[in-house]
Structure 1
């Protein structure tokens, strides 16, 4: 940390002396710094590099650890996310972030004190079945908090494909689509064949024994015959929501 502080002082001095532009200084700062809490090293400049602050993956962390991380981040960022959070994690966060909200279906904690401007394009989250909703909701909420207009189309799996085809107009209105499915994961290929926009496929661990906790859906999506389909990891709703937000950003 001492080395990082010295480099930061030199950068500030260079900018003040007109030896470096503000833009050049910001570019240098993209790699600095992090806060070492002992049990965690918090990346303070992720928002500068990636346009969103650190997101806390709560599963496996103690409530005390989660609370300490969130308390520190809350001093520096307006909007925060905690994923895979249970009620204990939420109560711990609530003590240091009184306006935190818990979304039990997606298992997410949101601290949204300064809602960001909505991107123009629509992100549509499409789920095969009701059992896929926790992952679908994680994707939708992630994209929404990151400043996107999000709509959801649930329980339209290929076992009753007429349910999906009834929403053809909505599918084609979306700028980015997230398809969430377990079992054999066929929904991604079907949606990919209906639209001209990027499709982010999310395999879920929902299914009977031969589903292998989502492996069958993952392999089906990776082998999709529809062009324009990309795949994230099993149950990774957050990753899908973040990727959709990046694709949906207004380049202007």
Structure 2
């Protein structure tokens, strides 16, 4: 339950003042021994803590996921393996797993989505990272338009959907190889562009470093670059920009 929900319950007489006082006196984190769950993060930043699943012990992941679900009523997990998803799903049957983006989530069904974010990829091989970005943005309450396989080797594909892209409050450009897509989009829109380099490419792409350097050195205005393959980071930032664009702050 978040702060607004608790205050509404007090106002409607569903929760006593004493019970609400106990709620607000909770520690800002929950101690699990191997993890300290940031239970006040949504209060401070508008979005609850997200679980980075990769590398976590199975028992740790399950307990972290269960505790966040009990606290927030929904959880977003990133970089989860199929085996991790099966473990969590056995305990929380309603959890959803997408093997492409490796997103492991359970979310509230009545979620309101606002504004519009465009997620574009240079190639089909960039879609896993793009889906991590798109699904992150959707989880945090944003409408997302997907436009995949519109790289610079066939610029007409991008231009055919230019009006849609220009209508968005923010654009995420996901590209490997030489990473030129972000620069092209940056020169066509008057909204912020978040560039996401991917590790897609041959030897001299150096697992995404080539695309990263291209994006960091872009001559187009309004481009900010996140880390290689960091779809989650791009989706989160895009969510903040989009909500500012529609005048909504959670």
Q: What range is the shorter-chain TM-score in?
A: 0.7 to 0.9
In structure 2, C-alpha distance between the alignment counterparts of 1:50 and 1:59, rounded to whole Å: 24
In structure 2, C-alpha distance between the alignment counterparts of 1:84 and 1:210, rounded to whole Å: 26
In structure 2, C-alpha distance between the alignment counterparts of 1:114 and 1:54, rounded to whole Å: 19
Query: Does the alignment pair 1:180 with 2:174?
Result: yes
Alpha carbons 2:182, 2:215 under 8 Å: kept: yes
Aligned length: 227
Query: Does the alignment pair 1:163 with 2:142?
Result: no
After superposition, give the CA deviation of every residue in 1:18-69 in whole Å (9 maximum; x if it has no partner): xxxx9xxx8xx8x951112121111111111111111110111122211010
Give TM-score, length-normalised by structure 2.
0.86
Query: Does the alignment pair 1:34 with 2:43?
Result: no
After superposition, give the CA deviation of every residue in 1:135-178 in whole Å (9 maximum; x if it has no partner): 00000000001100101000000011111111111111111100
Alpha carbons 1:85, 1:109 under 8 Å: kept: yes
Alpha carbons 1:185, 1:220 under 8 Å: kept: yes
Corresponding residue number in structure 1 for 2:122: 128
In structure 2, C-alpha distance between the alignment counterparts of 1:49 and 1:32, rounded to whole Å: 14
In structure 2, C-alpha distance between the alignment counterparts of 1:81 and 1:132, rounded to whole Å: 21
In structure 2, C-alpha distance between the alignment counterparts of 1:43 and 1:155, rounded to whole Å: 38
Give TM-score, length-normalised by structure 1.
0.85
Query: Does the alignment pair 1:60 with 2:55?
Result: yes
Corresponding residue number in structure 1 for 2:195: 201
Alpha carbons 1:78, 1:114 under 8 Å: kept: no
| Correspondence for 2:89 among 94, 100, 118 | 94
| Correspondence for 1:51 among 42, 46, 51 | 46
In structure 2, C-alpha distance between the alignment counterparts of 1:114 and 1:39, rounded to whole Å: 31
Alpha carbons 2:68, 2:74 under 8 Å: kept: no
Query: Does the alignment pair 1:72 with 2:67?
Result: yes
Moved over 3 A (4+): none
Which structure 1 segments of 5+ residues have no match?
1-15, 17-21
Corresponding residue number in structure 1 for 2:247: 251
After superposition, give the CA deviation of every residue in 1:92-137 in whole Å (9 maximum; x if it has no partner): 2113322100111100111013443211x21000000000000000
Query: Does the alignment pair 1:215 with 2:182?
Result: no
